Amino acid sequence: MQIEYIDGRRLRRSLIAACDYAQKQRAELNRINVFPVPDGDTGTNLALTVRAIADELKGSKERSAGKVAEDAAQAAVLGARGNCGMMLSHFLLGFAHNIGARERITADDFGTALNAGVDNLVSAIERPVEGTILTVMRDTAEAARHSGLPDFVPLVQHLVDEARESLRRTPDLLPVLRTAGVVDAGAMGFVSMLEGVLLFIHGDPIVAVEPGEGSVDGATALSKVEYAEETFRFCTEALVRGDTLPEQDVVRDELRSHGDSLIVIRSQDVLKVHIHTDEPEKVFAYLKTVGSLVTHKAEDMQAQHETAGGAGGHITLARRALSIVTDSSSDLSEEIVRAHGIHVTPMALVDGDRSYRDGIDITAEEFHARLDDDGPVPTTSQPSPADYMESFERAAEDGEAVLAVILSSTLSGAFASAEAAARRFHGVPVHLFDSLGASLLQGLLTLKATEMAERAVPPEEIVAELKRIREQSGILFTVDTFDRLLASGRVSRGRAILGSVLSVKPILGMTPDGSVVPMGKALGRIRARGALIDAMAARMPAGAKKVRFGIVHVAYPEVIEPIRAELQRRWGSDVEILTAPAAPVISTHLGTGAWGIAYIVED
């Protein structure tokens, strides 16, 4: 077999294989992770980064190698987690920029693009460290430049051989690796991507490596390295969007004094930042001044190490203290889910004899379009216990325990399914929280749980705090027409006819016990906006200051900006506001044109 060129189809399939194989190595990469800090999460971070790439490419039909490379790079930026994910993103951006708009590339072109990727990465790092992923990337790119091989089949084999040899040398270049008896985890992740391409070319199965393959000279299966106190405590990451974002160097200059391990990516309308710092809130405050802060997280590395290290300050188990699970009714954006590593269980949609998974087989926007069709609308169904079991199993790979924030038991049998799954699950302890809410109310509670978990708060304390917050939080919504409420039996036909004739917009809301009750009404769309916000404010505790909001809609995105502006006018320009199209389980009862506001009060 000979491969003399790569087009979009071949590049896409090769990258998917690379990403799939790298994901299989997550446990081993976590196990050997000792640099830059021994917090046992390099495998998880790389897996989440490459999963974003694979998810983007699996739905693509692009024929241009340049466009596939660009799509992969942009997906990597959006999904990048940790040092290794950010470095891989910089590499892919340089690789894609060099390929440009070319439909096909030769082996020689490929080698040139690999070197451009390395150059782009080097230019983005202030203090490059040898013996890391950077070293192996550079050695691999140099091998491609000087190989002289015109056929991709022997070329890829040659690159894998050279990358493995470079990986083997990483402990010679980085003393902490030599002490631990392991190779660099990020570098091994990059090698695994090349190995995935080679497996794909030869038609071999994509399987995980055996435990211990990242160790050197027969070292024990578990890494053993003394924990050196990290200068800064929080691994902080953020994603900012905007049309006038500052350049990478400007952001880097501004944030340099706040910590170390700083990596900044500016690509199109996206700015991604990774930094180790003691004051993540100051980093977030600055980023809010340059654009819209879409996601942000601050993970306690000291607590992460203590979880991964066990007794005596040694790494004995590479997992986090707590993983978070929710279901797709929470309406959290893909960006937030990826940034925090939240595990989402899809709700089910049934259309005749065909079943769809919410957010996977059908998007909220696609479902909204079905609401306006003349045909029947798919019905919604809660996840089965088996669905939650699958989510718990995935989450247990990352955490010593699992906490699931579930759609209100007053609206669905989802919580009962989760309870049944938790009783049968024996991997790690599973804690459940009935959100007594839906949509972004559930989403905001899930996000709060995630943030507390990242700071190593015990699950019992998180559940107690969520209960306290839920008592003073809620969601209110209004509908544009009564058709879907009538179809679902939520209102009588007489009330629906009267409301339609008079253009009355009912304001409904969820009480702290999860009941859906009337909370007001208004004449017309415009008046409903002010009336809903007034009704919400009246239900908040007096003097509440620490408030977060979520704006949700059913095929009515134009409502977002005026509502956002009014919320900022009343609660301050820096108030956090999430936005999302409503999940099918909610929108099927509300209909096109419906919208609502969720809020949580943390005072």
Residue by residue, DSSP assigns 416-468 as: HHHHHHHHH--SS-EEEEE-S--HHHHHHHHHHHHHHHHTT--HHHHHHHHHH
The domains located in the chain, with CATH, are 8-202 (1.25.40.340), 234-311 (3.30.70), 315-469 (3.40.50.10170), 474-601 (3.30.1180.10)
Residue in 288, 263, 283, 320 with CA at minimum distance from that of residue 124: 263
Q: What is the pLDDT of residues 322-343, one digit of tens each?
A: 999 999 999 999 999 999 999 9
Q: Count CB neighbours of 241 within 10 A.
A: 15
Is the predicted pLDDT of residue 190 greater than 70, yes or no? Answer: yes
pLDDT for residue 273 = 96
Kindly state the tokens that stand for 541.
């505790």
pLDDT for residue 501 = 39
Distance linking the first and last C-alpha atoms of the chain: 66
How high does pLDDT run on average in the chain? 89
Pairing of strands 234-241, 402-406: unpaired
Contact 587, 364 (CB under 8 A): yes
Q: What is the pLDDT of residues 212-270, one digit of tens each?
A: 666 665 443 334 445 445 578 899 999 999 999 999 999 999 999 999 989 999 998 99
**Which residues, 6 or more positions from 262, have their beta carbon under 8 angstroms from its beta carbon?**
126, 252, 255, 256, 273, 274, 275, 276
Q: Is 288 exposed, middle or buried (0-12, 13-18, 19+ CB in 10 A)?
A: middle
Regarding predicted confidence, which is higher, 92 or 26? Answer: 92
- Rounded CA gap, 475 and 481, in Å? 19
pLDDT for residue 481 = 75
Rounded to 5 degrees, φ, ψ at 288 are -65, -25
* Residues linked to residue 238 through DSSP beta bridges, in sequence order: 273, 296
pLDDT for residue 314 = 40
pLDDT for residue 315 = 42
